[in-house]
Amino acid sequence: MKKSLVKELEKRLGKSSVLIDEGDRALFSYDAAYGEKVLPDIVVFPENKDDLQFVINLMSENEIPIITRGAGTNLSGGTVPVSGGCVLVTTKMNRILEINEKDLYAVVEAGVVTKQLADKVEEYGLFYPPDPGSMNISTIGGNVAENAGGLRGLKYGVTKDYVMGVKLFDMAGNEVIGGGKTVKLVTGFNIPGLMISSEGMLGIMYEVILKLVPKPATSKSMLVEYSSVIDACNTVSEIIASKILPSTLELMDNFTINAVEESEKIGLPVKADALLLIEVDGHPAVVEDEFIMVKKICEKNKGNVKVADNNEERDKLWTARRKALSCLARLKPTLILEDATVPRSKIPDMMKAIKEIASKYNITIGTFGHAGDGNLHPTILTDKRDEDEFRRVEKAIDEIFEKALLFGGTLSGEHGVGLLKAKYMEMEVGKGTLNFMKNLKMGVDSKNLLNPHKMGL
């Protein structure tokens, strides 16, 4: 990076918002995925829209790639600066600008932390449902760019269902405003829709307008133990088919239960082959009815139901689920978390396939996830330095994806493509779609400077 450029950036943003030391830059050479590390040439933290535009213009003039980064919690290598360049971190653009109780929306800067927004709107009796497991640190910009889901996706949908408007800059520094504060809006292309799952490749968002909903009056949670994971999966399919929509319907297999219990000591049933964590919410009368119906379906499928009697027990259950990934991560040096997703009726087939693949390649896979959305997280525990095992792991991943597509599913329900799934893109979407995406990107970023080489583009 030219000294004169660094000086210009330091003058505009302040020295503490520009990182050039190798040790500092190293912290931005990777994200939460398991791939290779690549050092960026510089890391900057703009604090407002004007500074952001200044950085973009400077990089654009000098043809330096920009890799936008929120909290770096993505699981697909989406923020690794593969060809160097400038990592632009949004975490200093972190103000909640408006919470509108009359029109039920919030306006936030892109670097606002998801949990910070969720907690704030609760103070107004409102609800922002998308709750990725990483919500304590993930940013709204990252959630939009990955279309993050969460534990409540089954009933409340995912991030894309809440994005009403976005403000962003393209790589030429032009300001782009899409969507707005009205429930209906069809003036022009659906630009907020275009930014969903865009993985930092089409523009850099600095502001997002998000839909809010009334907070549900009450909720009831249960933990259901199974001596066969397939019974648990059949329960999920039957609940969905019975037209009940729990707010949450999560699955943990025996391996994951033990990993969480060993670390958290909260009394999970370590002998169970699987458990389901289920919550229904809404008006008290509806909650009571749905709860009874769900319980019956669980028992019919040989589930042993335990009801969370108070808020403390309920919180324990959800903490256990949210900690699944970090508890598994403690067990081996390399953790590979996949999120192949299938139509919900295919959950039992997918679960069987994952078990068979683990045994065929003699590797350890713990599975948990948003079973109600058909979104399982087969989590492979390995050590990348063990070349023989890692080769088997790579073959297992290929097969997991092939199976998911065979069952009518997708490579990624919520973690995005980034670098790690780029090579599989064509297998799912075909050449025509890839070319369409390429043309779209070249139309707004002709020099391919915005997060280049992601998604195979």
Ligand X SMILES: Cc1cc2nc3c(=O)[nH]c(=O)nc-3n(C[C@H](O)[C@H](O)[C@H](O)COP(=O)(O)OP(=O)(O)OC[C@H]3O[C@@H](n4cnc5c(N)ncnc54)[C@H](O)[C@@H]3O)c2cc1C
- Looking at beta carbons only, is 134 or 234 nearer to ligand X? 134
Handedness of CA 407, 408, 413, 419 (dihedral sign): positive
279 is a contact residue toward ligand X (CB under 6 A): no
- Minimum distance of ligand X from residue 103's CB (angstroms): 24
- Minimum distance of ligand X from residue 424's CB (angstroms): 17
Distance, in Å, from the CA atom of 453 to the CA atom of 228, rounded to the nearest integer, reads: 43
Select from 50-58, 100-108, 127-135, 288-296 the region that touches ligand X (CB under 6 A).
127-135
- Looking at beta carbons only, is 138 or 221 nearer to ligand X? 138
Of 55, 148, 164, 411, the one binding ligand X by CB under 6 A: 148
Of 43, 52, 99, 204, the one binding ligand X by CB under 6 A: 204
415 is a contact residue toward ligand X (CB under 6 A): yes
CA angle (186, 189, 191) in 5-degree steps: 105
- Looking at beta carbons only, is 110 or 347 nearer to ligand X? 110
Of 87, 104, 164, 205, the one binding ligand X by CB under 6 A: 205
Strands 86-89 and 66-69, bridge-based pairing: parallel
Select from 38-46, 142-150, 215-223, 231-239 the region that touches ligand X (CB under 6 A).
142-150
- Tokens 């979407």 locate to 429
197 is a contact residue toward ligand X (CB under 6 A): no
- Minimum distance of ligand X from residue 137's CB (angstroms): 7
57-96 residues in contact with ligand X (CB under 6 A) are: 68-75, 78-79, 90
179 is a contact residue toward ligand X (CB under 6 A): no
Query: What Cα–Cα distance (Å) separates residue 143 from each residue in 6, 108, 119?
Result: 30, 13, 16
- Minimum distance of ligand X from residue 288's CB (angstroms): 28
Of 46, 192, 200, 374, the one binding ligand X by CB under 6 A: 200
Tokens of 63: 């043809």
- Looking at beta carbons only, is 141 or 246 nearer to ligand X? 141
**What track of x and - describes contact with ligand X for positions 302 through 341 (by CB under 6 A)?**
-----------------------xx---------------
Distance, in Å, from the CA atom of 309 to the CA atom of 295, rounded to the nearest integer, reads: 15
- Looking at beta carbons only, is 160 or 316 nearer to ligand X? 160
32 is a contact residue toward ligand X (CB under 6 A): yes
As a dihedral over the C-alpha atoms of residue 131, residue 133, residue 136, residue 139, rounded to 10 degrees, the angle is: -70
Q: How far is CA 432 from the centre of its chain?
A: 27
365 is a contact residue toward ligand X (CB under 6 A): no
Tokens of 216: 């549900």
Of 134, 254, 256, 379, the one binding ligand X by CB under 6 A: 134
Return the half-sphere exposure (C-beta side, CA atoms, 13 A cut-off) of residue 73: 23
- Minimum distance of ligand X from residue 295's CB (angstroms): 26
- Looking at beta carbons only, is 258 or 341 nearer to ligand X? 341
Tokens of 193: 């829709």
Select from 16-24, 147-155, 216-224, 236-244 the region that touches ligand X (CB under 6 A).
147-155
Select from 143-151, 185-193, 268-276, 379-387 the region that touches ligand X (CB under 6 A).
143-151
150 is a contact residue toward ligand X (CB under 6 A): yes
Distance, in Å, from the CA atom of 445 to the CA atom of 56, rounded to the nearest integer, reads: 12
- Minimum distance of ligand X from residue 114's CB (angstroms): 8
- Minimum distance of ligand X from residue 449's CB (angstroms): 13
Of 354, 451, 452, 457, the one binding ligand X by CB under 6 A: 451
Q: Which residues bind ligand X (CB under 6 A)?
A: 31-32, 68-75, 78-79, 90, 110, 132-134, 138-139, 141-143, 145-146, 148-150, 199-200, 204-205, 325-326, 414-415, 451
